[in-house]
């Protein structure tokens, strides 16, 4: 398509493409996943538990002692961003410098936090809503710093580490070999990445918006697990569009989630989950296929996924035979 045709497609009313809510059943779910499509769906028909009705205080009482891992930044990285912001001239876009690859401190640090501590932090922002920053620069350096400082109020854990916690969508998940559920709490910042497995992201409390690119576009967008060529929190901001050859032409979908709503994110599809309320709680379900059945997302995205599938298999074998954990416990523990 010529640039001109692309631009007029973008201006037409069906751009970006709208995502309709669908009734997900096993038949159309298989179809959706086989084609690598996204779908928004109503979770309630597939969910029997009571998590959707809990208040933050209920969460604190039931699982306050559970350990989650924050996405906080090292003080050194925060200082680097602050110094960079201070050096900007009038009119420069307020964008953090790219992290230096070799310097661990210039990226994130996972720090343990109890759910009670995290809820306490979030409570101080109660009632505040936030709007996505995908398509704009920060308006001020203060807004930018606040954004990066908030990383330590956003945390994740595998729900298997939480005592007596149950979440499952068995009615639609039972075909998969394993399902890994992670709990995501707090103001997620929307770092754009893809996952190796097909995935449901379900909103439990508060609200979240998810920006998704079709998996076919992954190599055009970037190709790395977490995007490296541009700021993963600002895929549509002027600074990204000016630098990136294709972003302005690539169709995307934005799905707004309220409690009880879920979205199907196909394996390999770049997505950015941005909490539009501070008290956001979501659970995702990563679907691990049986090796010789199902849509086999890891065949579509060969490189990292085969490794993940087999390392999970090997890890389980080693654990059952020798009690040795190949994949260590931690925020993303898969065993």
Structure tokens given for 249: 């032409």
Does 261 bind Fe ion (CB under 5 A)? Our answer is: no
Q: What minimum distance in Å lies between the beta carbon of 282 and ligand AKG?
A: 4
Provide the minimum distance between the beta carbon of 246 and ligand AKG in the complex, in angstroms, as a whole number: 22
**Can you tell me which of 183, 201, 204, 287 binds ligand AKG, judged by CB under 6 A?**
201
The strand order across the sheet containing 208-212 reads 253-257, 208-212, 271-275
Instruction: Pick the piece of the chain touching ligand AKG (CB under 6 A) from 86-94, 118-126, 158-166, 193-201.
Output: 193-201
Minimum distance from CB of 184 to ligand AKG (Å)?
Answer: 4
- Judged by CB under 6 A, the chain residues 276 through 335 that form the site for ligand AKG are 282, 284
* Partner in contact with 204, chosen from Fe ion, ligand AKG, none, beta carbon below 5 to 8 Å by kind: none
Distance of CA 324 to the CA centre of its chain: 30
Residue 144 or 232 with smaller CB distance to ligand AKG: 232
Contact call for residue 196 and ligand AKG (CB under 6 A): no
CA-CA distance, 156 to 181, in Å (whole number)? 10
Q: Is 115 in the site for ligand AKG (CB under 6 A)?
A: no
- Contact present, 186 and 280 (Cβ < 8 Å): yes
Gap between the Cα atoms of 7 and 135, Å rounded: 17
13 DSSP 8-state letter: T
Q: Which is nearer to ligand AKG, 60 or 71 (CB)?
A: 71
**Would you count residue 273 as binding ligand AKG (CB under 6 A)?**
yes
Dihedral angle sign, alpha carbons of residues 316, 319, 322, 327: positive
Instruction: Indicate the SS3 state at residue 144.
Output: helix
Cα–Cα distance between 136 and 304 in angstroms, integer?
31
**List 70, 153, 157, 199, residue binding ligand AKG (CB under 6 A):** 199
Tokens of 22: 């669908």
Three-class SS state of 321: helix
Interaction of residue 195 with ligand AKG, rule CB under 6 A: yes
Q: How many Cβ atoms sit within 10 Å of the Cβ of residue 82? A: 16
Applying the rule CB under 5 A, the residues between 176 and 215 that interact with Fe ion are: 195
User: Which positions lie near ligand AKG, rule CB under 6 A?
Assistant: 184, 188, 195, 199, 201, 265, 273, 282, 284
User: Which positions lie near Fe ion, rule CB under 5 A?
Assistant: 195
């Amino acid at each position: 398509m010529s640039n001109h045709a692309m631009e007029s497609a973008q201006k037409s009313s069906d751009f970006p493409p709208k995502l309709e809510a669908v009734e997900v059943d096993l038949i159309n779910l298989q179809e959706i996943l086989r084609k690598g499509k996204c779908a928004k769906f109503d979770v309630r028909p597939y969910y029997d538990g009571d998590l959707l009705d809990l208040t933050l205080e209920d969460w604190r009482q039931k699982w306050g002692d559970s350990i989650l891992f924050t996405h906080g930044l090292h003080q050194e990285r925060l200082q680097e961003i602050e110094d960079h912001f201070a050096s900007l001239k009038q009119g420069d876009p307020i964008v953090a410098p790219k992290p230096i690859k070799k310097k661990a401190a210039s990226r994130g640090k996972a720090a343990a936090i109890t759910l009670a501590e995290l809820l306490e932090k979030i409570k101080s922002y109660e009632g505040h809503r936030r709007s996505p920053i995908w398509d704009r620069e920060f308006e001020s350096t203060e807004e930018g710093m606040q954004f990066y400082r908030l990383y330590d109020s956003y945390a994740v854990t595998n729900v298997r580490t939480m005592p007596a916690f149950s979440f499952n969508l068995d009615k639609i998940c039972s075909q998969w070999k394993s399902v890994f559920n992670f709990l995501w709490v707090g103001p997620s910042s929307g770092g754009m990445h893809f996952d190796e497995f097909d995935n449901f992201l379900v909103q439990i409390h508060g609200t979240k918006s998810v920006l998704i690119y079709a998996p076919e576009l992954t190599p055009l967008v970037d190709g790395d697990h977490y995007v490296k060529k541009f700021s993963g929190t600002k895929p549509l901001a002027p600074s990204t569009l000016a630098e990136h050859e294709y972003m302005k032409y690539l169709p995307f979908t934005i799905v707004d989630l309220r409690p009880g709503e879920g979205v199907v994110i196909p394996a390999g599809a770049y997505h950015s989950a941005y909490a539009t309320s501070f008290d956001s709680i979501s659970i995702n379900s990563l679907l691990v296929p049986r090796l010789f059945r199902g849509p086999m997302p890891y065949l579509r995205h060969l490189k990292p996924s085969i490794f993940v599938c087999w390392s999970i298999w090997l890890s389980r074998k080693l654990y059952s035979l020798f009690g040795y954990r190949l994949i260590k416990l931690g925020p993303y523990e898969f065993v």
